[in-house]
């Protein structure tokens, strides 16, 4: 009977060690989650201070570029002269910026 209990104690110790390792890994995961959450909250606060005017011009430029691209794609280009004219018109807004 002692032998049976001794074998079970060995198995129990083995599973306790496995459980302890698992608990340690979960603690490390939760620590990382907490750290990253705090970092994200801090970055969110910093972005809240970032003035929208700093990137409004970029949003406007992207919208204009998209509109120009759609206009170019809507025109059927049949010869190289028309293509050169379209490309020249597209280069003008970029050089004026």
Pick the more confident residue, 7 or 63: 63
How do residues 16-43 score in pLDDT, each as one tens digit?
999 999 999 999 999 999 999 999 999 8
User: What are the sequence ranges of the domains in the chain?
Assistant: 1-50, 55-97
Write the burial class of residue 86 (CB in 10 Å: 0-12 exposed, 13-18 middle, 19+ buried). middle
Q: What is the pTM for the complete model shown?
A: 0.42
In this prediction, residues 50-70 reach a mean pLDDT of 82
How do residues 65-77 score in pLDDT, each as one tens digit?
898 888 777 766 6
């Amino acid at each position: 009977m002692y032998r049976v209990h001794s074998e079970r104690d060995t198995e129990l110790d083995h599973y306790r060690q496995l459980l302890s390792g698992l608990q340690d890994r979960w603690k490390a995961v939760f620590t990382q989650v907490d750290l990253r959450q705090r970092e994200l909250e801090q970055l969110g606060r910093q972005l809240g201070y970032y003035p929208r005017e700093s990137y409004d011009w970029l949003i406007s430029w992207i919208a204009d570029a998209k509109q120009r691209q759609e206009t170019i794609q809507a025109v059927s280009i049949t010869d190289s002269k028309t293509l050169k004219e379209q490309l020249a018109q597209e280069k003008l807004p970029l050089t004026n910026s």
